[in-house]
Structure 1
Amino acid sequence: MMKRSAVILPQGDFLCGIVEGYYGRTWSHQDRLDYAQFLPQLGLNSFLYCPKSDPYLRKQWFAHWPLAQWQQLLELSAKYREQGLLFGLGLSPFELYRHYGAKERQQLKDKVQRIQELHPSLLALLFDDMPGAVVDLAERQAEIIADVQAWAPELRLLMCPTYYSTDPVLEKHFGPMPAEYWSRLGTLLAEQVEVFWTGPKVCSESISCADLVVIQAAFGRPVTLWDNYPVNDGAVRSDKLYLEPLSQRSPKINQHLAGHFCNPMNQAQLSLPALRGLAELYSNQLPQDLEAQLLGEELWRQLAQDRHAFQYGGLSGLGELRRQELSSRYARFTGPAAAELVSWLQGEYTFDPACLTD
């Protein structure tokens, strides 16, 4: 059994943890249960469930989960509460802002009431990765969020704008951002609603206080960082494993934030080393051997030797013979982290564009 680390959870209202918001191959139910044990060891306090592959959060948001999946969600919520952690869901009512009439409003109310049965602490309304060239986009999204706030006043609400970064790639894929979209949202949303932001890029290499001062002024409130590290679900990023701790974030950014979530890799267990950087950003004193505690000492010793090649060279940089050699080497280890690594080396996590057309 893994021993617990003497770490300090973030204090007050500051959210700090995982937003499971990737595309493609999803975590297992056991992975999510395991994170209820991992987060306290890392000194993190929050888990937001919103994988893009769950159709009942996105394209089929108005439908209820099948019984087996619903029972898993009930178990997850109970497990996180038992550990003193904040658990929530991210609901992506796909393009609901295009037509939000009486029927759709009732469907949303029914869904929110269903989610309330899970007794979550957090609920996020996510409008990311949807067409956004709608003149009254801010008004329609704010109306939806106001309704949810009225129906579920006990929940801490977050929202992800359609344009969640200054990265021009968003307008390339989702159309031009409506004029004054950010400032209109900031004016229309209730003060308590927290707004997600990924930084200057969708996957930001660095984030400074100056970056956050600018966007805080645009929204009229501190943002909550949706940090797309170590996520590796894209065509380029799925070629790599991001095993280095989160870095290049100013140690003073918490002065401009309401919270900080990291979006993990499709490999749940192998995401743990990256989260050391998130924890240490907020002054949590982690033991030097924490990765060995979480992943196993022998496996971590081997990974420490190979992780630079996995992160910076990637699968494409290894070559077929080297991949086969490493696959055989890591197959000798037991446990879920080793299994994830072998699957990655064998190409089982390679990006599939079909995952974007759910």
Structure 2
Amino acid sequence: LREAGAREIAEVRPGQPLPHGDALVVRADAASAAEALHALHAPPRADLPREGYRLAVGRTKSRPTVALEGADGEGLFHAAQTLRQLVTEKDGERGFAGAVVRDWPTAPVRGVTEGFYGSSWTQQQRLEQLDFLGRTKQNRYLYASTDDAYRQAAHWRDPYPAAQRQQFRELAERARRNHVTLGWAVAPGQGLCFSSAEDRRALLRKLDAMYALGFAAFQLRFEDVSYSEWHCDEDAQTYGSGPKAAARAHAELAGEVARHLAARHPDAEPLSVMPTEFYQGGDTAYRSELADKLPPGVQVAWTGVGVVPRTITGGELSAVHEAFGQHPLVTMDNYPVNDYAQDRIFLGPYRGREPAVAARSAGVLTNAMRQPAASRIPLFTAADYAWNPKGYRPQDSWQAAIDEAAGGDAQARAAVRALAGNDSSSVLGGEESAYLRPLLKDFWAAYDDADPQEKPSLKRLGRAADRLGDAFRTMRTAKDRVPAALAHEVGPWLEELARHGEAGEHAVRMLTAQAHGDGGGAWDARLAVEKLQAKDGDGPSATVGKGVLADFVKRSLKVSDSWTGADRKAGGRHRATAQGGPVARPDSPAEAAVDGDPDTAYRAEAAP
């Protein structure tokens, strides 16, 4: 309410009279909210599931009214997040748009994994991520940092240092405020004796310690464990070797952990296991043995068929569900993680996952990038999908995600759109620089039709050049306009975007000058383009607009070569004229002109 502009808020207990006047009344207590919802023609509560809610905005008894009702505390919290989205502004006054909503999630668990390879997020970045999860109605944060030795083979037995324990407590409090469950993933397999009672007790003690710090969901990870390598002689004697032996060891340990959690921490979430075979399709000896030996209720994590699959279908989920003996599946999607392609940031929308995946998974978790603020663009869309996959519209959700990442400033929104629009393709699909392609098409069509003797054709070219030039200008200036946290994370990509934007501006200026027969202006612009091209490869590796931005500049230079005569074979409609030839300037060898022949001069200048 304060973010929406409320200056005074008075709390009225049930049964007390409302203050006089026409102030907005917000009803969030069960009794009066239900009455107001009925008056505002909201659908009945009926069998509203967990985390569901009803919300209505309108007028009751001649007063502006908001009514919120949740199926539980989480549902009421989610209703408040939807109310946040209904803020409108008119004539300088802010309020809430009229609406009637009955809503609930499809996937019971929706959230994010911090599981990328490389340096972990900072404490502040994690706190901000938890706030983001709350705003987007997600309810799980799985801590699986590969940079943390205390959850892996090296030190999984050891307690965390005091300072890190305090950070976890702070995360737990922030998670509680956002109705998010903290999860902790442990990967002890490469430094554990499965048949050792002492090692098992050490693992249970560590899990108890993490529960005391505020973690309420746990995952055992065996994805990097070899079938043929044990870490004590007793395991080889107890289990033997091969996939079935490994599966028995994994299942036995998981069973003991699951029983311990149920007995000691009955409010903890069900245990999940990331098996060694977490992405393969179909039935295998390992999967069959694991399914047979895992206790009922233990969940199994998978990533789809493939480590980073282009699509995940309901049929694939059903087949894997069958292979794991009907154990509930947690879909842990490796998007938008970019540790395998560090020159890329994946900012396109979540796509290629059928609605059945969200509806029939025990949870849907997406694996974030090293860049947390940038990750929130695709993660926003993944949250939309997991909440309502049948109504999910990737492009609409993506535009909303960009607006959320940019904040309220129009220039910032344009800058973030340019960044995301030129970093939107991935293994999941998507067309890079899709918003730019129609502008490029229109510009080339106008250029090809332009005739110096036909003013209408030049005006058409001018309009197309202005639109395309504006888009390139937004790219060039984006690094100064995106929010600071995002700019700090994606500096190399913003620099590369600026370089492509500036090169594009000069290329448009070069081609427009050529169409007008302005050889001097065209040459100046070409020199600027070539100077920017020479910077290609400078600084950290960052790829933006792959297959579009650089290709536009290359095509422009090739057309320029054709126009100047440097590339006779390419032909070309626009030719330099005596009036439009080069003029003397410090960086132009005008003395190469012979008898005022501009083609001769351009050939000399184009040939180093």
TM-score by length of structure 2 reads 0.50
Q: List per-residue Cα deviations over 1:4-53 (Å, max 9, x = no partner).
A: 74186636x81111111111022111111112211122221111111111
Deviations 1:114-151 (A, max 9, x none): 11212322111111223234421111111111221222
What residue is the counterpart of 2:366 in the other structure?
A: 262
SS at match of 1:52: coil
Picking from 175, 182, 187, the partner of 2:287 is 182
Task: Select which of 378, 391, 402 maps to 1:291.
Answer: 402
Q: Is residue 2:152 matched to residue 1:58?
A: yes
Residue number in structure 2 paired with 1:306: 419
- Partner in structure 2 of residue 39 of structure 1: 133
Q: Within 2, Cα distance between the matches of 1:97 and 1:159?
A: 16
| 1:213-260 alpha-carbon deviations (Å, 9 max, x no partner) | 1101101224110100000012xx212111011101012223431111
Structural mapping, 1:199-210, within 5 Å: 199-210=304-315
Q: Which runs of 5+ in 2 are unaligned?
A: 5-79, 86-102, 229-240, 427-431, 433-473, 496-538, 544-608
Looking at structure 2, the residues matched to 300 and 151 of structure 1 have their Cα atoms a distance apart, in angstroms, of 50
Range that drifts further, 29-38 or 112-121? 112-121
CA distance in 2, matches of 1:161, 1:195: 7
Distance of 2:123 and 2:142 partners within structure 1: 14
Q: Which runs of 5+ in 1 are unaligned?
A: 169-176, 318-324, 351-358
Give the 5 Å matches for 1:180-329.
180-221=285-326, 222-234=328-340, 237-281=341-385, 282-283=387-388, 289-296=400-407, 297=409, 298-312=411-425, 329=478
Which of 255, 260, 264 is equivalent to 1:151? 260
Q: Aligned to 1:19, which of 100, 113, 117?
A: 113
Is the Cα contact below 8 Å between 1:10 and 1:44 reproduced in 2? no
1:188 to partner: Cα distance: 1.5
The answer to whether the Cα contact below 8 Å between 1:265 and 1:271 also exists between their aligned partners in 2 is: yes
What percentage of residue pairs aligned between the two structures are identical? 26
Counterpart CA distance in 2 for 1:52 and 1:302 is: 32
Aligned partners of 2:250 and 2:542: how far apart in 1? 34
Secondary structure at the counterpart of residue 142 of structure 2: strand
Give the distance between the partners of 1:272 and 1:45, measured in 2 at CA: 15
User: 1:176-219 CA deviation, whole Å, 9 max, x = no partner?
Assistant: x9x51112211211221111000111011111111111101101
Is the CA contact (8 Å cut-off) linking 1:202 and 1:228 kept in structure 2?
yes
Amino acid aligned to 1:347: P
Aligned with residue 164 of structure 2, among 69, 76, 80? 69
How many equivalent residue pairs?
A: 329
* Contact map agreement 1:331 1:339 (CA 8 A) in 2: no
Q: Distance in 2 between matches of 1:150 and 1:196?
A: 19
Shift of 1:304: 1.5
Which amino acid in 2 is paired with 1:270? A
Shift of 1:96: 4.8
Confirm or deny: 8 A CA contact 1:9 1:43 kept in the other structure.
no
Q: Which residue of 2 aligns with 1:353?
A: none
Q: Does 1:10 pair with 2:123?
A: no
Tell me: CA distance 1:224–1:99, structure 2 relative to 1, closer, same or farther (3 Å): closer
Q: Contact 1:167 / 1:202 at 8 angstroms: preserved in 2?
A: no
The match for 2:246 among 137, 148, 158 is 137
Report the equivalent of 1:336.
485
Q: C-alpha separation between the residues in 2 aligned to 1:9 and 1:294?
A: 24
Q: SS at 2:189's partner residue?
A: coil
**How many Å apart are 1:66 and its aligned residue?**
1.4
Q: Distance in 1 between matches of 2:169 and 2:330?
A: 26
The residue type paired with residue 211 of structure 1 is E
Q: Please, what TM-score do these two structures have when normalized by structure 1?
A: 0.82
342, 347, 354: which one aligns with 2:540:
347
1:52-109, CA deviations, whole angstroms, 9 ceiling, x for partnerless residues? 1111111321111111111111110121112221111111113256543133122212
Answer whether contact 1:241 1:310 (CA < 8 A) is retained: yes
Letter of the structure 1 residue corresponding to residue 272 of structure 2 = L
The residue number in structure 1 matching 2:449 is none
Partner in structure 2 of residue 102 of structure 1: 197
Aligned partner of residue 138 in structure 1, secondary structure: helix
Mapped partners of 1:327, 1:194: distance in 2: 48
Q: Distance in 1 between matches of 2:413 and 2:339?
A: 23
SS at match of 1:226: strand
**SS of alignment partner, residue 44 of structure 1:** coil
CA–CA distance in structure 1, aligned partners of residues 361 and 402 of structure 2: 27
* Greater RCO (Cα-Cα under 8 Å, separation 6 or more): 1
For 1:330 and 1:337, the matched residues in 2 are separated by 10
Aligned equivalents of 1:230, 1:287: Cα separation in 2: 13
Q: 1:166 to 1:327 in 2, by over 3 A?
A: farther
Higher Cα Rg, which structure: 2
Say whether the 8 Å CA contact 1:16–1:261 is kept in structure 2.
Answer: yes
Counterpart AA for 1:145 = A
What is the CA-CA distance between 1:327 and the residue it aligns to?
Answer: 9.0
The CA distance in 2 between the partners of 1:338 and 1:2, in whole Å, is 24
Indicate the SS of the match to 1:159. Answer: strand
What SS does the corresponding residue of 2:422 show, helix, strand or coil? helix
- Distance in 1, matches of 2:199 and 2:475, equals 52
Residue range with higher mean Cα deviation, 130-139 or 47-56? 130-139
What is the rounded CA distance, in whole Å, between the counterparts of 2:156 and 2:475 in structure 1? Answer: 41
Shift of 1:307: 2.5
Which residue of structure 2 lines up, in the alignment, with residue 356 of structure 1? none
